Amino acid sequence: EMEGFVASKTKDEGESKGGGETKASLEQLRAWGVVVGDRKSLYEQLQANKMKKEEEMKLKHDPQPPRALAEEEVAWLDETRSREIEKKKKEKEDEDKELEAFEKLRSGNPKDEVSNSSKTIHNSSSKPVKKLEVGVK
């Protein structure tokens, strides 16, 4: 009788103290993907699950090879490139014309190309100030 009493008392203590913890631990293990009763060790199961998740993440987040462009996309890119080339060509032509005009003014006869005239302007302090006007004919 004494043995039954001690055994039942120990059994009751185990259920009241450790039973809840054991049940929670088993639920946590299942949440981690561990199969209780599997012949593999806990470490092996956790490593296998970790490798599986890493492989899924790798497939999900690794860059995929580029897809082929549709005909409309290729046409749009070609058109855009052509417009950019034409725009740069026009800008270069305008710049060349401006540079040529500047060089003509710089190297040509300044009396014919540029009219320099000086005028005297009086400011509020009554001091004469010369103003240089440059104009292109």
122 neighbors 129 (Cβ within 8 angstroms): yes
Tens of pLDDT, residues 93-105: 999 999 999 999 9
105 neighbors 115 (Cβ within 8 angstroms): no
- Give me the pLDDT at residue 91, please: 97
Compute the C-alpha angle 121/125/129, nearest 5°.
30
In three-state secondary structure terms, 15 is helix
Structural Rg of the chain based on CA atoms: 45
- Give me the pLDDT at residue 64, please: 76
- Give me the pLDDT at residue 118, please: 47
Q: Write down the H helix ranges in the chain.
A: 2-13, 20-31, 42-61, 71-107, 110-113
Compute the C-alpha angle 104/109/110, nearest 5°.
95
Tens of pLDDT, residues 82-95: 999 999 999 999 99
Q: Which two tokens stand for residue 49?
A: 């699950």
- Give me the pLDDT at residue 11, please: 45
Residues of the chain with pLDDT under 70: 1-21, 38, 109-137
Q: How many CA atoms lie within 13 A of 128 on its CB side?
A: 4
Compute the C-alpha angle 130/131/133, nearest 5°.
145
- Give me the pLDDT at residue 132, please: 60
